[in-house]
């Protein structure tokens, strides 16, 4: 391991990088928190009262602990990922992190493989997003590259840590930086799954000064986010803008009416759903993460395509996936998988070709697109293809 670390420059996967990753993972698997010194253990456990910096009892804050050379800021992040239960007064990682950084602990301290605390925070979905924000607000280098040339945004994409992706993009993460294998995240972020893709594309549009329908799950007038006591409802005409109340919808109408596009014959296609039983539906990215143990196994979410809605019409936001080539059936479903179907070209050739063209030209990777739709009966699905929606997290 030390021989690999001693090599100058970055390590590509075929130049010892993958071997080093494997060794790093194997060695860190035997980590025992009880072997840490008192101060590092207090950082790890989030024990604010024991992080006695102001009393002069703390070691030098630039010191690194264990052969992995974790700085104290990194120990705070590591504890937030691993410690699920602790006595009262512990697990106060955000407060401990602020105290350390305000007292001069180096925010960009590297471990033996060049990972900073920000890298470690991005690597695990269990890390509270608040910790990443604190690190960045205190000067963490959002584009720092580790021994493999990987930045924190790539680590977050690999882990499927959407909260981390969101904060990193907010603080200017650069998607054009190649790693040691010459992989560029701007070119391949779609492969990490629909959840992270939706976050990245939202920020790419923001940086370009652009917007797309349903870019964010918030009220189109007051910007209140969906959740808790806030229940958003879509505009009944276009289904592309949501509101938290009738009052907000009325207040926004003067602006919204300029862009509101109701369903009509010119901007819609009519598809014939074919229902069949699907055992499970999971993105390739999520399946890979589960196999590798990056994220905990998720319960299987069977499709319920055969349990067709009993009331019509039903407004839905759908995802349409087209074949890589040829004219195989389209796969259509909504987020909860209450509605899942296929669409065969033979049943509606012109409309099949039209939605296929829209997705090829404007969809995610030319293979999938999101649309407002109305299921008018079990055999009639009307899709508004004149307005493709922002990437959704499913």
What lies within 8 Å, CB to CB, of 129 at 6+ separation is 163, 164, 166, 167
User: Can you list the alpha helix ranges (DSSP code H) found in the chain?
Assistant: 2-6, 17-28, 38-45, 72-82, 93-102, 117-123, 129-137, 152-159, 162-170, 185-188, 194-208, 246-256, 284-292, 349-362
Residue 150, both tokens: 């990987």
Give the tens place of pLDDT for each residue, 292-326: 556 654 555 544 544 554 589 999 999 999 999 99
Q: Which residues contact 250 (CB under 8 A, 6 or more apart)?
A: none
Tokens matching residue 367 = 């293979």
- As a residue count, the chain comes to 394
Structural domains in the chain, CATH included, are 2-208 (1.25.40.20), 211-261 (no CATH), 268-384 (no CATH)
Q: Percent helix, strand and coil across the chain, each rounded to 5?
A: 40, 15, 50
What pLDDT is recorded for position 51?
86
Q: Which residue, among 1, 116, 100, 7, has the nearest Cα to 59 in the 3D structure? A: 100
Distance, CA of 82 to CA of 39 (rounded, Å): 17
Q: How far apart are the first and last CA of the chain?
A: 40
Q: What is the pLDDT along the chain (394 residues), one digit of tens a residue?
A: 989 999 999 999 999 999 999 999 898 888 888 899 999 999 999 999 888 776 567 899 999 999 999 999 999 999 999 998 888 879 999 999 999 999 999 999 999 999 999 999 999 999 999 999 999 999 999 999 999 999 999 999 999 999 999 999 999 999 999 999 999 999 999 999 999 999 999 999 999 999 999 999 999 999 999 988 899 999 999 999 999 999 999 999 999 999 999 999 999 999 999 998 765 666 667 766 665 556 654 555 544 544 554 589 999 999 999 999 999 999 999 999 989 999 999 999 999 999 999 999 999 999 999 999 999 999 999 999 999 999 999 9
Tokens of 362: 């404007």
Cα-Cα-Cα-Cα torsion 236, 240, 246, 249, nearest 10 degrees, comes to -120
Dist CA 165 CA 167 (whole Å):
6
- Kindly write down the DSSP assignment for every residue of 274-335, as one continuous string: B----S----HHHHHHHHHTSSPPPPP----TTS--SSSSEEEEEEEE--SSTTPPEEEEET
The angle that helices 129-137 and 72-82 make with each other, rounded to 10 degrees, is: 170
pLDDT at residue 57, rounded to an integer: 76
As to burial, measured by CB atoms within 10 angstroms (0-12 exposed, 13-18 middle, 19+ buried), residue 272 is middle
Q: Are 235 and 290 in contact (CB under 8 A)?
A: no
> What is the per-residue pLDDT for 330?
98
Residue appearing with tokens 């919808």: 249
> Could you tell me the two tokens for 173?
């993460």
Where do we find the tokens 């009331």? 311
DSSP calls for 362-380? HSBTTTEEEEEEEEEETTE
Phi and psi (nearest 5°) for 370? -115, 135
Helices (H), strands (E): how many in the chain?
14, 10
Distance in angstroms (rounded) separating the CA atoms of residues 377 and 361: 29
Ramachandran angles phi, psi of 75, nearest 5°: -65, -35
Please compute Rg for the chain using Cα positions.
25
Cα–Cα separations (whole angstroms), residue 33 to 40, 64, 88? 9, 15, 18
Return d(Cα 347, Cα 268) in angstroms, integer.
16
Cis peptide bond N-terminal to 313, omega within 30: yes
What are 23-41's pLDDT values in tens digits?
998 988 888 888 999 999 9
The pTM score is: 0.89
């Amino acid at each position: 391991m030390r021989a690999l670390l001693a090599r100058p420059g970055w390590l590509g996967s075929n130049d010892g990088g993958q071997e080093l990753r494997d060794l790093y993972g194997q060695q860190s698997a035997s980590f025992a928190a009880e072997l840490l010194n008192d101060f590092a253990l207090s950082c790890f456990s989030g024990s604010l009262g024991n992080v006695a910096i102001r009393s002069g009892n703390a070691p030098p804050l630039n010191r690194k602990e264990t052969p992995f050379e974790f700085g104290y800021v990194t120990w705070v992040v590591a504890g937030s990922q691993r410690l699920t239960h602790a006595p009262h007064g512990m697990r106060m990682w955000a407060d401990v992190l602020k105290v350390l950084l305000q007292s001069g602990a180096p925010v960009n301290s590297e471990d033996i493989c060049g990972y900073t605390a920000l890298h470690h925070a991005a690597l695990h979905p269990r890390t509270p997003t608040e910790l990443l924000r604190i690190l960045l607000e205190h000067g963490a280098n959002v584009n720092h590259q580790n021994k493999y040339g990987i930045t924190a945004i790539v680590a977050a994409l690999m882990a499927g840590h959407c909260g981390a992706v969101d904060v990193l993009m907010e603080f200017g993460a650069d998607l054009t930086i190649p790693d040691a294998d010459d992989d560029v995240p701007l070119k391949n972020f779609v492969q990490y799954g629909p959840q992270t893709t939706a976050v990245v594309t939202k920020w790419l549009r923001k940086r370009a000064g652009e917007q797309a329908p349903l870019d964010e799950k918030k009220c189109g007038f007051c910007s209140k986010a969906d959740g808790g006591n806030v229940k958003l409802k879509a505009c009944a005409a276009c289904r592309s803008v949501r509101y938290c109340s009738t009052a907000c919808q009325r207040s926004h109408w003067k602006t919204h009416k300029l862009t509101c596009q109701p369903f009509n014959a010119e901007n819609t296609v009519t598809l014939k759903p074919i229902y069949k039983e699907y055992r499970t539906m999971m993105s390739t990215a999520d399946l890979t993460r589960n196999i590798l143990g990056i994220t905990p196994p998720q319960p299987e979410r069977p499709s319920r395509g055969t349990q067709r809605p009993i009331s019509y019409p039903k407004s839905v936001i759908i995802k349409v996936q087209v074949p890589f080539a040829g004219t195989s059936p389209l796969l259509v479903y909504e987020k909860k998988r209450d509605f899942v179907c296929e669409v065969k070209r033979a049943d509606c050739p012109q409309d099949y070709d039209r939605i296929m063209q829209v997705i090829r030209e404007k969809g995610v990777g030319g293979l999938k697109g999101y649309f407002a739709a109305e299921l008018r009966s079990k055999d009639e699905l009307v899709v508004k293809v004149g307005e493709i929606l922002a990437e959704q997290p499913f």
